[in-house]
Chain A
Amino acid sequence: MFTNYFKLAIKVLGRHKFFTFISLFGISFTLMILMLVTAFLDTELGSHEPMSKRDRMVFLSQVTLKNIETDTIMTIDTTIKNEVAVYDTTYDFSPNNTSTSNSDAGFAFLNEYCRNIEGSEKETFYSPGSSFDIFINNNKLTFNGIYADADFWKIFDFTFLEGKAFGETEVKNQALGLVISKKAAVKYFGENQSYVGKTITLEGKNFKVLGVVRTMQGPQGFNADVIMPYTNMTANQLENHEGFQGRFQGLFLAKTKKDRRIIQAEIKKKATQMVMPNPDDYNVLELNAWTFPETYAKRLWYDEDATKSLKKLFLILTSLLLLFVLLPTLNLINLNISRIMERSSEIGVRKAFGASSGNILVQFVFENVILTIIGGVIGFVLASFLIYTINNSQALGNVVLQFNGSIFIYSFLICLIFGVLSGIIPAYRMSKMQIAAALKQ
């Protein structure tokens, strides 16, 4: 039966070339955009090197210090009682936030208070965001650097092309060694067989290359060229403001996905138990530990609560996705109604010879799915070409769009939903048509 439907679907597509072109254009263009969006989301939020364990990660990336003072508001009510003025005074005490300071955490603070957190299997403290200007062969290179501890390499997963990461000993001994990305190594040294053992000068210090990794770009804008032991930071860089704040981020690897909530609660609890070093300046401490998607949402809506931000992000993405699928679907429904109307005599014949309404429904939905799959394949080819072009031209800066199997599966599912949705309404209408009326048309 489906062979017959397939043959007919292909014939009908060939017969109405203009309609087919319009439909395929609509489907392939919409799917191309959808595939690009999913590729972008997968790149930003997916489980990729170096954050393959992102589902178990909790980031402590914001330490908030507040000064809360109690305001006293005195209200005097005057009433006349027995022709004498009576005064009624009320006092209202309400907390008032007079000053707030948001920053990354200080290393000493993390080191002292944030080890052995319940639910955490391992933790790393690292400082991203250092930038090094390098002048080489009359060219200026800017390298982004991360200062990290030895456990950094146990939580993040990089593909080493050669050499290895630094360990506890190197960190302890302030070893002048670093790990470099392949791209940065080529920029600095030129194309070479091996880079390990070579020296790279950053801010007057000669660092030895210990290892070369495939890439240091990852989800959530994770981007670096070199990573070195945090003990190489200057005292000034390591110094903490108000004892708690600094340039470090804490990253906790939960034992299980569920344990992330335990870590978050534990860190929040710690904040309430700590004695503030300078209570005259700041008397309240807030520690905000977020999961991977919450961190992403917080980057978009900094001032809002992480859970609210995540809900907002989810709502916006879902609405956009619905809009992208709904508009062309509605258009296709219209096109399909006029296309199927032309075939009312065929529907009449099929029903006269025993096709049930269900058979007719399945046939037209099947035909539409075939059309959508063809459109999907075209959209897939277009999207692959566009992603390749975008990555090659670096149109999105450091973001390298990923295109993998899961994206293909998502896109294929979107294709199917698209095909079924745009086919089912016209097919249902036609399947209910009276046979005698259908044969007359």
Chain B
Amino acid sequence: MIQLKNINKVYRTKTIETVALNEINLDVKEGEFLSIMGPSGCGKSTLLNIIGLIDEPSSGAISIANQQISDYSGKATARFRNERLGFIFQSFHLINDLSVIDNVELPLLYRKVSAKKRRFLAEEALTKVGLKNRMKHFPSQLSGGQKQRVAIARAIVGNPDIILADEPTGNLDSVMGNEIMDILLDLNQNNKTTIVMVTHDETMAQRTNRLIRLFDGSQVL
């Protein structure tokens, strides 16, 4: 489903060059739940961003669903992200000025979907994460766990093939973290959604199909 070949990411300033990723080769199968672990600053999030097409590698090739993404224009990449990928962030990144349902509808705004259908799909996604009764609330009125569930609803509303989760339980206590993990596992097992998750939590990582570790930008066994 996802193939990374010789991915390098180097941040350059006038005086210093920092290697964030070094020769990463990775193959994620369709329907797989992969977790990426490693110490802070080892390049986990950078790798996830590159897989999610929200950052570009310095060199190397990315192929998702048998499509060479490096050939895509900005607009085509945006469309690809919209239709095939869903994101969950550690700090939720909900838009505080929009209600829960409006936040969930966001990915559908960039598709040709009627307002009525948008609302229907958003309600359905919120029902899946158990937050249908909080539709009209605003993010500031929700707990951390609830916010992350809204973020999951937003990630799944467009029915993507792949979900990329950057420390989705990082800001939550263990009970809430487990609830979020249950939802992700359910999506992976029942919807066959491919999930790539960055985490610091060994217990969460052990619940996934496969675990890879990074250290100083390189993949370690």
Query: Which residues does A use to contact B, with CB under 8 Å?
Result: 1, 3-4, 7-8, 11-12, 15, 345-346, 348-359, 434-436, 439
A7 touches B78 (CB 8 A): no
- A346 to B105: give the CA distance in the assembly, Å: 14
- A15 to B95: give the CA distance in the assembly, Å: 13
B110 touches A439 (CB 8 A): no
10 further A-B contacts with Cβ under 8 Å, apart from A352-B81, A354-B82, A354-B111, are A4-B102, A4-B105, A345-B93, A349-B87, A351-B78, A353-B86, A353-B110, A355-B78, A359-B78, A439-B54
A348 touches B93 (CB 8 A): yes
Contact of B109 among A1, A12, A15, A352 (CB under 8 A): A1
A-B residue pairs, 7 tightest by C-beta: A354-B82, A11-B97, A435-B54, A353-B107, A436-B55, A354-B110, A356-B78
Can you list 27 contacts pairing A with B, beta carbon distance less than 8 Å? A4-B98, A4-B105, A4-B109, A7-B102, A8-B95, A11-B98, A15-B97, A345-B93, A348-B54, A348-B93, A349-B89, A349-B95, A352-B81, A352-B87, A353-B81, A353-B86, A353-B87, A353-B110, A353-B158, A354-B82, A354-B111, A354-B158, A355-B82, A356-B110, A434-B55, A435-B49, A436-B46
The CB with the most chain B CB atoms within 10 A, among A350, A351, A354, is that of: A354
Q: B149 near A: Cβ within 8 Å?
A: no
Residues of B with C-beta under 8 A to A349? 87, 89, 93, 95, 106
Q: B75 near A: Cβ within 8 Å?
A: yes
The CB with the most chain B CB atoms within 10 A, among A353, A355, A435, is that of: A353
A354 touches B83 (CB 8 A): yes
Residues of B with C-beta under 8 A to A346? 95
For residue A189, give the distance in angstroms from its CB to the closest CB of chain B.
65
A435 touches B55 (CB 8 A): yes
Majority secondary structure of chain B interface residues (helix, strand, loop or mixed):
helix
A436 with B98: in contact, given A352-B87, A354-B78 (CB under 8 Å)?
A: no
Majority secondary structure of chain A interface residues (helix, strand, loop or mixed):
helix
Residues of A with C-beta under 8 A to B154? 353
B74 touches A356 (CB 8 A): yes
B106 touches A353 (CB 8 A): yes
**Size bin of chain B's contact surface:** 20 to 34
- A358 to B150: give the CA distance in the assembly, Å: 26
Residues of A with C-beta under 8 A to B137? none
Residue of chain A at shortest CB distance from B86: A353
B82 touches A353 (CB 8 A): yes
B54 touches A352 (CB 8 A): yes
Residue of chain B at shortest CB distance from A440: B45
For residue B197, give the distance in angstroms from its CB to the closest CB of chain A.
16
Residue of chain B at shortest CB distance from A358: B75
Residue of chain B at shortest CB distance from A436: B55
For residue B88, give the distance in angstroms from its CB to the closest CB of chain A.
10
For residue A319, give the distance in angstroms from its CB to the closest CB of chain B.
39
Q: B43 near A: Cβ within 8 Å?
A: no
Q: B52 near A: Cβ within 8 Å?
A: yes
Residue of chain B at shortest CB distance from A438: B54
- A47 to B89: give the CA distance in the assembly, Å: 62
Instruction: Tell me the chain B residues, 34-81 only, with Cβ under 8 Å from chain A.
Output: 46, 49, 52, 54-55, 74-75, 78-79, 81
A436 touches B95 (CB 8 A): no
- A434 to B82: give the CA distance in the assembly, Å: 16
Q: B115 near A: Cβ within 8 Å?
A: yes
Residue of chain A at shortest CB distance from B89: A439
Residues of A with C-beta under 8 A to B81? 351-354
A356 touches B75 (CB 8 A): yes
A7 touches B95 (CB 8 A): no
Residues of B with C-beta under 8 A to A4? 98, 102, 105, 109
- A132 to B148: give the CA distance in the assembly, Å: 86
B98 touches A359 (CB 8 A): no
Residues of B with C-beta under 8 A to A357? 74, 78
For residue A386, give the distance in angstroms from its CB to the closest CB of chain B.
35
Contact of B110 among A12, A355, A435 (CB under 8 A): A355
- A15 to B98: give the CA distance in the assembly, Å: 12
Residue of chain A at shortest CB distance from B80: A354
Residue of chain A at shortest CB distance from B97: A11
A3 touches B115 (CB 8 A): yes
Residues of A with C-beta under 8 A to B54? 348, 351-352, 435-436, 439
- A434 to B79: give the CA distance in the assembly, Å: 16
Residue of chain A at shortest CB distance from B73: A356
A354 touches B107 (CB 8 A): yes
The CB with the most chain B CB atoms within 10 A, among A15, A348, A350, A358, is that of: A350
The CB with the most chain B CB atoms within 10 A, among A4, A352, A358, is that of: A352
- A352 to B92: give the CA distance in the assembly, Å: 13
- A11 to B138: give the CA distance in the assembly, Å: 12
Residues of B with C-beta under 8 A to A439? 54, 89, 93
A359 with B106: in contact, given A7-B98, A351-B54, A353-B82 (CB under 8 Å)?
A: no
Residues of A with C-beta under 8 A to B115? 3
